[in-house]
Amino acid sequence: MHRLAGKPAPKKMLLDVAQLERAFHDRDSDAASPARRVSFGTSGHRGSPLDGSFTAAHILAISQAICDHRAAQGIDGHLFLGKDTHAASAMAERTALEVLSANGAHVVVQKGDGFTPTPVISHAILQANRAAGHQADGVVVTPSHNPPEDGGIKYNPPNGGPADTDVTGWIQDRANQLLENRNRDVRRATTVTLRTRDLVMPYVSDLATAIDMDAIRSAGLKIGAAPMGGASIQYWPAIAGHYGIDLTVTDDTLDPRFGFMTLDHDGRIRMDCSSPQAMASLVKLKDKFDIAFGNDPDADRHGIVTRSGGLMNPNHFLAVAIRYLLRHRHEWPTTSLVGKTLVSSAIIDRVVAAEGRRLMEVPVGFKWFAPGLHDGSCCFGGEESAGASFVRRDGTVWTTDKDGILMCLLAAEITAVTGRDPSEHYAEIARDLGAPVYTRVDTPCSPAEKAGFKRLTPESVTAVTLAGDPITGKLTRAPGNDAPIGGLKVTTANGWFAARPSGTENIYKLYAESFRDEKHLGQILDEARGLVGRAMSAA
């Protein structure tokens, strides 16, 4: 833990926005360098102008590639373009608009040069596509919770969710072709064409179809909301005013340097609403509110703060949310699945089983939930990284991308309807179903070793026990959809581990959980490292 973790950011470490803008426009993308090529991970392309991995050249190429994809697929409806509050986001939006305009895209942006959360873009796409005809899609300019110097851009197809790998792979490859040709084939307009629209109130006024807003108002809850300087900053006051709830925005500062933040565990500024260090300012205020919460800059993630427990572990709130929804959404079909990523806590498995419902366990990436959320066959999808969404109260689609605003309001609904906050609910779950301990460890590995994860098979694991328990599962494909997990998961009755390579760094991520204690978790980690090493050698 860094010595300044949880403390205000010193002025000397704040971003030089002018320097960032110069780097964005002036740095060569250097398509020959692997670190500077377009790379679409689970949430689009991310990088920083300062190291040449997120520049105007990248945005020109990606925007043209998106236009080429739209043309190939016959997508000619509105393109909803949103941005968050990172400094590079406004720069990238302006650059993208030049290309989108030149290609004749019918771009819609928030009026008044406002900011738009990821879930609002998903909601707008789905609403536009309810009628037959021209299909809408969207682009969000955001690096999510990443540090102030970073930028990001992602594409949402007509189903409103994150694009699948076949789409992102095509866009990535086409963008890199354009970069290699120094963007000579990129169309670029000198005058941009767009339509401005209020995207705030259509989303806000529709929230009552997914959340019991009347219960929140009637309970008279005192609510605290921390936008963390992000795109939800325009939404929380609108929600409070529209529904007449007692909600206070705890800090409405807009600063592209995010100088008001407390530092994360490693001493960096990072707007991670699941980090106790980054959320320290709100946690200090917990006793002033019945329930409080925060969102990252594009508001697709949530952080829940309760009086009784402080900042909740994301896995814990997912378990509470799922149990509550399955017990209180009586119009949801009992056949609809509950989705989780395979690195999310197994307490979710136990909650779903206890409620007599079926689980869908998928690889990392919210895109795997989008089809089911869209057609209603999946009522809830959640990730251990504090991202989730669920269907409307009548069981139809709400958003097909992560919705941090929705999840925060669900925490308020749970508190209002039950008279207990989510931490108290989790204590009950832990008492009845077990209290697991969970961790993630990042371990350096070479590009060659990362590639080796794709060659793993269940037969690569020869061990029959893990930390004293018989191994019950050896997975290289997700049980919920048979998709490759890009790594390995090994399970027992009392714990599990999963190992997968990072898409952006030379590390592999080792997740582990024990339903016994910290000592047992340590045993799982120690044996997991050996198992992974031997499996990689065998592969």
Q: Give the residue numbers annotated as catalytic, written as ranges.
A: 144
What Cα–Cα distance (Å) separates residue 73 from each residue in 77, 367, 400?
12, 19, 20
Phi/psi for 513 (5° steps) reads -150, 140
DSSP class of residue 259? T
CB-based contacts of 261-264 (< 8 A; 24+ apart in sequence): 261/8, 261/9, 261/228, 261/229, 262/6, 262/7, 262/8, 262/9, 263/2, 263/4, 263/5, 263/6, 263/7, 263/8, 263/9, 264/5
Four-CA torsion 327, 330, 335, 339, nearest 10 degrees? -50
Give the pair of three-digit tokens for residue 71: 């043309």
* Residue 444, SS3 per DSSP: strand
Is residue 94 within 8 Å of 88, Cβ to Cβ? Answer: no
Q: How far apart (Å, rounded) are the C-alpha atoms in residues 489 and 497? A: 6
**Residue 352 carries which side chain, given as an amino acid letter?**
V
Range list of β-strands (E), 118-179: 137-141, 151-156
Q: How many CA atoms lie within 13 A of 514 on its CB side?
A: 18
Distance between CA atoms of 355 and 508, rounded to whole angstroms? 34
What angle in degrees, to the nearest 10, is found between the helix axes of 314-328 and 404-418? 60
Whether the CB-CB separation of 172 and 45 falls below 8 Å is answered with: yes
DSSP 279-324: THHHHTTGGG-SEEEEE-TTS--EEEEETTTEEPPHHHHHHHHHHH
Compute the distance between CA of residue 231 and CA of residue 343 in angstroms, rounded to an integer. Answer: 28
- What residues pair up with 470 in beta bridges, in sequence order? 465
476 Cβ contact partners less than 8 Å away, ≥ 6 residues apart: 456, 457, 458, 460, 484, 485, 487, 488, 489
Report residue 61 as tokens: 């190429």
- With H, G, I as helix, E, B as strand and everything else as coil, classify residue 477: strand
Alpha carbons 398 and 269: distance in angstroms, whole number:
32
Fill in the DSSP letter of residue 41.
E
Token pair in block for residue 107: 């771009």
Question: 227 in the Ramachandran plot: left (φ > 0), alpha (ψ -120 to 50) or beta?
Answer: alpha
- H or E segment to which residue 439 belongs: strand 437-444
Query: Cα angle vertex 511, ends 383, 271, to 5°?
Result: 50
